[in-house]
Homo-oligomer: A and B are copies of this chain.
Amino acid sequence: MLLRMNQAIAAGIRDEMRADPTVVVWGEDVAEAGGVFKATVGLHEEFGDRVRDTPISEMGFLGAAVGAASTGLRPVVEIMFIEFLGVALDQLVTEAAFYRYLSAGEVTVPLVVRGSVGAGMGFGAQHSQTLERWLVGSPGIKVAMPSSSRTAYGLIRSAIRDDDPVVVLEPRALYAEREDLEPSDEHIIPLGQAELLTEGDDVTLITLGNTVGTALTAARNAAWSADVIDLLTLQPWDRQLVFDSVSKTGRLVVVEESPWSGGWGADIVAAVTEELFGELRAPTVRVTTPDVPVPFAAELEARYLPASDEVTRQVDGLLETGRSIGPWWLREESLR
């Protein structure tokens, strides 16, 4: 059936709730209303009190979820916009993430935190970031980001089954995207496994979430051919698949909806450069957002996001000159 990404997420949670009575869903307006982004629609009707609306208190209900997870439940918590973790981060990365370690393995925290991320929807500076940087590097947690209905369904199911805290960052620009999908166990996607979407010889394009489509569009119309990899899980990321691809192509371009400074792609670049330096035929390139708050005006927000034609320009430049042409905002005439 054709499912929007938010419907696929609801389906994934539903299937885990049917299979496991310990799975519960908590968040602001996730019950009757089915969530602000409609990613929990139908769950309250089917599972009643296992799906609960919370007061506006992320620290409170995320902390409660940590306690519930420590005592046998598998809470799936919705953080409506990922920025709201800024009032509750402690419970996720300082408490939940360390609980297994600080109990010598006795206490586990099978907690899932779902947060909507990303720009392109006109929500402004405080509701448009991806903020994976708050999470990556925190020992004890896993971080995943779907790029479609299929991957959203597959990842949320793995996340719920995982015995450690897993954060699923959902690109809100994709919630309404439709994809044909028959929800079933074989669509479960193991955490830590990336997907090779297209095969090519000239360059490896590492993508995640909303930039998967950006890179595919660029690759489709390009003069060059690329391995386009959808990373899917950011922590731990699939080193093997990435290394194998770059060993083959000799060129690495990371396409990130994340700032030039502190974006997740730097980790990939650093690992590749350390492991595969001898096989690199050209500089690594990161196509990112500029280091600015996400602007509201549609014209600016569109420029803020990594664009497929910018990906094309970057790879073209890399292949032609053997050098990086640098980020667009350093090239842009009107900004001189």
Contacts and interface: CB of A to CB of B under 8 A. Distances in A.
Interface stretch (A2-10, A115-123, A269-277): A269-277
Nearest to A267: B266
A213 interface: no
Contact of A286 (B258, B265, B274, B280): B274
Given A90-B87, A94-B83, A125-B101, A283 B293 contact: no
A206 B266 CA distance: 16
Interface residues of A, number: 50
A139 B292 contact: yes
Given A137-B261, A277-B282, A98 B126 contact: yes
A267 B274 contact: no
A259 interface: yes
A284 B271 CA distance: 9
> Which 4 residue pairs are nearest across A and B when measured between Cβ atoms?
A137-B262, A86-B90, A277-B283, A266-B270
23 contacts: A83-B90, A87-B89, A89-B89, A98-B293, A101-B293, A102-B125, A133-B262, A134-B134, A137-B261, A137-B291, A139-B291, A140-B293, A235-B261, A236-B261, A261-B267, A270-B270, A270-B273, A273-B283, A273-B284, A274-B284, A274-B286, A277-B284, A278-B323
Given A133-B137, A134-B134, 19 more contacts: A86-B94, A87-B89, A98-B125, A101-B125, A133-B136, A137-B258, A137-B261, A139-B292, A140-B293, A235-B262, A262-B267, A266-B269, A269-B273, A270-B284, A273-B283, A274-B283, A274-B284, A274-B324, A275-B324
Interface of A: 59, 83, 86-87, 89-90, 93-94, 97-98, 101-102, 125-126, 133-134, 136-140, 235-236, 258-259, 261-263, 265-267, 269-270, 273-275, 277-278, 280, 282-286, 291-293, 322-324
